[in-house]
C-alpha cells in the first residue's frame, strides 16, 4: 500500500467535497481502487514447448517498443525464435515492460491480424470487458501513481525489473467503463494534436534548413542585394560574383582549439 490507514485518516480532513482519500491518493467518490490483476488478465496466453516447430509469427522484442510506439518487429519461426518469444498477442492487449519499467516502454497493441508474439520481457494485459478499457489502462501506465509503485519495487536493484506477480498487484484509480472510455478518447485526441504539431514543427524545420542553404550559398538573394549581379565558380562552388571566397583564418581573430596543441 502506498499510504498507511493512519495516514489516510489524517488526510481525510483535507479532502475536497465529492472526493475521497485512498491508497493511491485523492480520487472521486464514485471511483474505486483496483489492482491491475482485478480488472485485466495478466499474461493470458503463452506459447509452450509443444508449439508446432514451423509455426511462423511476427515478434515484438523489448527493443521494438519506445514509450507507446512500435518501431518494428521481426519474422520468426518457433524452432529458431528467441527463447523470450512466448507471449501471444491479441488486438487491444496492453504490453507492460517489466524490464527497466521506469523507461516506460509500454504499448497499446492495435494490430487486428493473427500470429503476433511478444517478449516475456513484457507482461501482456488483456482487459476484462465489463471492468476496464485497454486505452485507459495503457495511459495509466504512464501516470505518476503507477511509476511511484514501480520505483518502490525496483529501489536498490542493480537490474531493475519486476515480474507478472508485481504487475497484478499494482493499484490504480478506476471509474466506470463509460467514463474510462471518455477519458481514454480525450487523451487520444491530445496525442493526435501533439503528433500534428510535431509534424508541423518538423516541416517548418525543413523549410528553415532549405532556406539557410539557399541564403548562405547565395543561391537566393534578399531584396536590395545583388541586383544585376551574376555568379562565378570558386573553390567552394558557385557563389554570387560580388561575394568573396576566404579562409576561416582570414575572418576569425585569435582562433584556438581547446584540448589540442
234-257 pLDDT, tens digit per residue, is 988 898 988 988 888 888 877 666
Which alpha helices (DSSP H) does the chain contain, by range?
Answer: 5-11, 36-39, 134-140, 144-154, 164-169, 177-216, 248-251
Q: Which residues of 187-202 are buried (b: 16+ CB within 10 A; e: fewer)?
A: eeeeeeeeeeeeeeee
pTM: 0.76
CA 170, CA 241: separation in Å to the nearest integer? Answer: 70
pLDDT(134) > 60? yes
73-99 pLDDT, tens digit per residue, is 999 999 999 999 999 999 999 999 999
| pLDDT recorded at residue 237 | 87
CA 127, CA 36: separation in Å to the nearest integer? Answer: 9
End-to-end C-alpha distance for the chain, whole angstroms? 61
179-236 pLDDT, tens digit per residue, is 999 999 999 899 899 989 999 999 999 999 999 999 888 888 899 898 888 899 998 8
Ramachandran sector of residue 58 (left: φ over 0; alpha: ψ -120 to 50; beta: rest): beta
Amino acid at each position: 500500500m502506498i499510504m498507511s490507514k493512519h495516514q489516510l485518516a489524517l488526510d481525510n480532513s483535507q479532502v475536497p467535497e465529492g472526493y475521497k482519500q485512498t491508497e493511491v491518493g485523492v480520487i472521486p467518490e464514485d471511483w474505486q481502487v483496483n489492482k491491475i490483476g482485478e480488472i485485466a488478465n495478466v499474461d493470458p496466453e503463452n506459447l509452450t514447448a509443444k508449439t508446432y516447430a514451423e509455426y511462423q509469427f511476427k515478434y515484438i522484442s523489448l527493443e521494438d517498443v519506445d514509450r507507446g510506439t512500435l518501431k518494428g518487429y521481426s519474422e520468426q519461426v518457433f524452432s529458431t525464435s528467441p527463447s523470450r518469444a512466448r507471449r501471444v498477442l491479441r488486438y487491444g492487449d496492453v504490453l507492460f515492460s517489466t524490464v527497466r519499467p521506469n523507461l516506460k516502454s509500454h504499448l497499446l497493441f492495435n494490430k487486428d491480424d493473427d500470429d503476433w508474439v511478444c517478449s516475456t520481457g513484457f507482461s501482456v494485459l488483456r482487459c476484462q470487458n465489463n471492468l476496464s478499457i485497454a486505452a485507459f489502462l495503457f495511459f495509466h501506465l504512464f501516470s505518476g501513481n503507477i511509476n511511484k509503485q514501480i520505483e518502490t519495487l525496483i529501489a536498490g536493484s542493480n537490474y531493475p525489473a519486476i515480474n507478472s506477480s508485481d504487475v497484478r498487484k499494482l493499484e490504480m484509480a478506476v471509474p466506470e467503463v463509460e467514463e474510462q472510455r471518455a477519458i481514454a478518447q480525450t487523451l487520444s485526441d491530445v496525442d493526435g494534436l501533439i503528433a500534428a504539431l510535431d509534424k508541423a514543427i518538423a516541416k517548418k524545420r525543413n523549410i528553415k534548413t532549405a532556406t539557410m542553404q539557399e541564403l548562405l550559398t547565395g543561391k537566393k538573394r534578399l531584396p536590395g542585394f545583388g541586383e544585376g549581379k551574376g555568379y562565378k565558380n570558386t573553390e567552394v562552388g558557385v557563389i554570387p560574383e560580388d561575394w568573396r571566397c576566404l579562409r576561416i583564418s582570414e575572418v576569425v581573430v585569435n582562433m584556438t582549439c581547446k584540448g589540442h596543441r
